[in-house]
Amino acid sequence: QDILGSLASPEIQTCPFPFLDRLLAEAPVYKDPLTGMYVVTRYEDIGHISAHPELYSNKTTVVVGRHDSPVAQEVARRFADRGFPEMHTLVTNDPPGHTSYRALVEKAFTPSYVKSLEPYIEALVDELIDGMLPNGRANLLPEFAIKVPMYIIADQLGVDRADYDRFKLWSDVTVERNNPLLDPDRELEITDHLIDMQNYLHERAERYRVQPEDNLLSRLVHAEVDGETLSPPALIAIAHQLLVAGNETTTTGITTAMWLLLTKPDLRAAIEADPSRIPTFIEEVLRSHSPVPHMWRVATQASRIGDVEIPEGGVLMLSYLAGNRDPAQWACPADFDVGRKGVRNHLAFGRGIHFCIGNQLARGEMRIAIRRLLERLPNLRLSPDHPEPQFIPHFAIHALDHLHIVF
Ligand code: HEM
């Protein structure tokens, strides 16, 4: 095949669209020369793969992880001795295990429960805006967009406000741990932090077992399907996943949405004139700039996608960013169109059995954050004293580097 570039290259990560457009047109299943992974870009192919977990497994850590190394064994020993063994529950799992964990989490994380959180989300958003107001300027990324999802999930997992710094550390080290080139000593340090987190969450969970509260962790402790509840290690693994999966993603959604509004005056005027368009605006933000650029699958047997042979064990990258710009699915995909028909069919939350379980919470947070920022920050604009925000070179997130604003 022709070498068109690699998703591991920082230049392409900073500005991926010309490359992804070429893949869509010339090589819709493309063997990435640097990673050896098969990049799948067509909307239809991504849908097909997502519908067949028996052929394309989510247990990607089996290949990506360092499971046989001495460090990995030491890590596993520490978790087992002082914390809880790590488990595949949702995102790195397949049926039938995935099916039963997912059913239990859905019992706790219901749409009506998420809806009931809205007044509390609005109060939190307002509190953060109150903190920025007197300054007339802010970097919206650390001062607001990081805090909204982090504080919400911390509250939902029963973390006391006094412990937010620890919670932030646990979130950060989990992201850091995904680096395949991590130094072994650092990996052991991270393991110790994560063991602290496991024990913290376990202590909270045991408290809620006796005395339920109306937060997500307590609801998970008491969730029951066919008489089954979550075991302590499964509960901890799921809580950990909720902590990580909703943070950088929602932060990025909020930041990108505000950046688009501040750089497109017509769009902003349309949204300010009719705030009832905020929900569809958000969907178009997620379509055009999916925070999760891709997810991985491992082929359980040899198969064929389009005219490319995928060997057993081959790793696929489902490019949600590309599928959301596939001209076979979307009219004028590069245009930002708030009235786009069928926009909720975008791939930003994935497809099929792993479809994002936090999508309603993320959508609610984004909606409330955008509405209140526009309503409450007068004369809001990008800071003229800072360089234009840029997308950071990163393998696993499509996110801006800052959002300095003045108001
Ligand atoms: C799954 C994106 C917010 C929890 C996913 C997947 C995507 C995604 C693409 C599918 C993974 C796959 O294909 O393998 C996003 C985006 C968000 C967001 C773009 C924000 C804009 C959240 C929030 C939470 C959350 C707020 C929870 C508090 C999860 C979990 C899964 C998941 C637990 C795994 C579900 C499963 O495997 O059954 N998310 N997510 N996400 N998400 Fe989200």
SS (H, E, C) 186-233: HHHHHHHHHHHHHHHHHHHHHHHHHCCCCCHHHHHHHCCECCECCCHH
> How far is ligand 1, taken at its centre, from the CA of residue 357, in Å?
6
8 Å CB contact between 334 and 278: no
- What does residue 297 show for φ and ψ, rounded to 5 degrees? -140, 155
356 CB within 6 A, ligand 1: yes
* 81 Cα: distance to centroid of ligand 1 (angstroms): 30
Distance CA 161, CA 89 (A): 28
Determine the average pLDDT of the residues in 49-64. Answer: 83
Q: Is 220 in the pocket of ligand 1 (CB under 6 A)?
A: no
315-319/38-40 β-pairing: parallel
Q: What is the pTM of this model?
A: 0.96
**CA 212 → CA 119, 121, 234, 322, distances in Å?**
21, 21, 19, 44
pLDDT given for residue 66 in this prediction? 57
176 pLDDT higher than 80? yes
- pLDDT one-digit tens code per residue, 131-170: 999 999 999 999 999 999 999 999 999 999 899 999 989 9
pLDDT over 50 at 62, yes or no: no
- pLDDT-wise least confident of 2-16, 117-131, 201-215: 2-16
* Chain segment 259-286, per-residue pLDDT in tens: 999 999 999 999 999 999 999 999 999 9
Place of tokens 């599928």: 323
**Residue of 87, 242, 290, 349 to mutate, ligand 1, most atoms within 8 A of C-beta:** 349
Q: For the chain, give the percent of residues with pLDDT over 70.
A: 98
Q: Is the pLDDT of residue 119 over 90?
A: yes
Among left, alpha and beta (phi > 0; psi -120 to 50; other), residue 218 is alpha
Q: Is 1 a residue whose pLDDT tops 80?
A: no
Ligand 1 atom 20, closest CA: 250
Mean pLDDT of the chain: 94
The residue contributing the CA closest to ligand 1 atom 7 is: 349
93 CA to middle of ligand 1, Å?
14
* pLDDT of 380 over the 60 cut: yes
Q: Is the CB of 351 under 6 A from ligand 1?
A: no
Which CATH superfamily, name and number, covers 10-406?
Cytochrome P450 (1.10.630.10)
Ligand 1: centre distance to CA 329 (Å): 23
Identify which of 319, 352, 312 has the alpha carbon closest to the alpha carbon of residue 90. Answer: 352
Whole-complex ipTM: 0.99
